[in-house]
Copies of this chain bind each other. A is one copy, B any other.
Amino acid sequence: MQIGFVGLGHMGGPMAANLLKAGHAVTAFDLVPAALDAAKAAGATLAASPRAAAEGAEVVITMLPAAQHVKAVYLNDDGVLAGVTKGVPLVDSSTIDPATAKLIGEAAGRQGNPFADAPVSGGVVGAQAGTLTFMVGADEALFETLRPVLSGMGKNMVRCGETGTGQIAKICNNLLLGISMIGVAEAMKLGETLGIDPTKLAGILNTSTGRCWSSDTCNPYPGIIETAPASRGYSGGFGADLMLKDLGLAVDAARGAKQPVFMGALAQQLYQSMSQQGLGGLDFSGIIKLYAKQQNEQ
């Protein structure tokens, strides 16, 4: 298939490369020359604009940092909507607010292009390995159309409902994840301070009502889970600054809906404090460092 791809960063780069490996033809665009070079080396044809990437494509996929980029890439004069053939499906895998996803979907719909929001989980590792999970907001027919394309980049595709619901699912999951990670950090740190062996405590949590992904798979206490970022200096996971971005999306969406999210807002501030201390590049489980005793002179 002929695929237009816009956004070749840490996520988009390997995703496009996997599409090429799966036998698709990819016409790619990014603002960063080095990203273009890498895509070319992987076998992509380069385009001079999002519009050019979309021209002649049978599917267009975008993977961008934030809502303002998505708006620009789709709606500008040299954007995707200006170039794409009527009827061609469009997929945005960026993580953005649901309202912008719906807005893009409506603009696409008005000119006859079906649009799906399809944010991912799995991170850079999943993007490289082709094992991402896609949370897809699309009608049944579009979802079935996209499945073979997405399967070139990921293992699981979940249809969440109509346009925008992919983003809703993503931010609700990460809202809960951001909170439960801090819950685990507080529980582990309290237990350690009170004198229980952390490994013992984690064993109990993981077989009791406290069990959760943040405890049994990504425990923030070093040495509990061999494969967790905590056991390798909090490197190589899901960065705290990315969690901060996603909590911002969740809290903002809640504001727009007049829905209080007490714990979510506090979680956001705690990751913000972590970021302010220069630790935003660590895996988000590094939040446990905020709870460490320090020795300051007074």
User: Which of the 9-residue segments A52-60, A66-74, A266-274 touches chain B?
Assistant: A266-274
Task: Given A164-B195, A180-B180, A279-B296, check contact A190 B208 (CB 8 Å).
Answer: no
With a cutoff of 8 Å between Cβ atoms, the chain B residues found around residue A272 in the complex are: 254-255, 258-260
Residue among A98, A203, A204, A267 with the most chain B CB within 10 A?
A204
Over the window 140-164 of chain A, the binary record of Cβ atoms lying under 8 Å from chain B Cβ atoms (1 yes, 0 no) is 0000000000000000101011001
Contact of A262 among B171, B186, B250 (CB under 8 A): B186
| Complexed CA–CA distance, A214 and B205 (Å) | 13
User: Which of the 9-residue segments A42-50, A87-95, A287-295 touches chain B?
Assistant: A287-295
Q: Is A18 in the interface zone, CB < 8 Å from B?
A: no
Task: Given A266-B266, A279-B298, check contact A175 B186 (CB 8 Å).
Answer: yes
With a cutoff of 8 Å between Cβ atoms, the chain B residues found around residue A280 in the complex are: 258
- Report A248 CB to chain B, min CB distance, Å: 6
Q: Is A275 in the interface zone, CB < 8 Å from B?
A: yes
| Complexed CA–CA distance, A183 and B278 (Å) | 24
- Report A58 CB to chain B, min CB distance, Å: 28
Q: Is A212 in the interface zone, CB < 8 Å from B?
A: yes
With a cutoff of 8 Å between Cβ atoms, the chain B residues found around residue A173 in the complex are: 187, 204-205, 208-210
Q: Is the CB of A194 within 8 A of B179?
A: no
Task: Given A135-B204, A273-B260, check contact A98 B190 (CB 8 Å).
Answer: no
| Residue in B closest to A278 when the chains form the complex, CB atoms | B296
| Complexed CA–CA distance, A1 and B114 (Å) | 56
Q: Is the CB of B260 within 8 A of A269?
A: yes
Q: Is the CB of B191 within 8 A of A183?
A: no
Interface CB pairs A-B, < 8 A, 21: A160-B196, A164-B194, A164-B195, A165-B197, A168-B201, A169-B191, A172-B188, A175-B190, A176-B180, A176-B186, A180-B212, A183-B263, A190-B264, A211-B212, A212-B212, A212-B213, A260-B272, A260-B273, A277-B293, A277-B296, A281-B298
Pairs A-B, 10 closest by C-beta atoms: A212-B212, A179-B183, A176-B210, A176-B187, A260-B273, A173-B210, A172-B191, A265-B265, A277-B294, A172-B187
Known contacts A177-B208, A209-B218, A212-B213; 17 further A-B pairs (Cβ under 8 A):
A98-B194, A164-B195, A165-B197, A168-B191, A168-B194, A168-B195, A169-B200, A173-B204, A175-B186, A176-B186, A176-B212, A177-B210, A179-B263, A190-B257, A193-B257, A259-B272, A277-B293
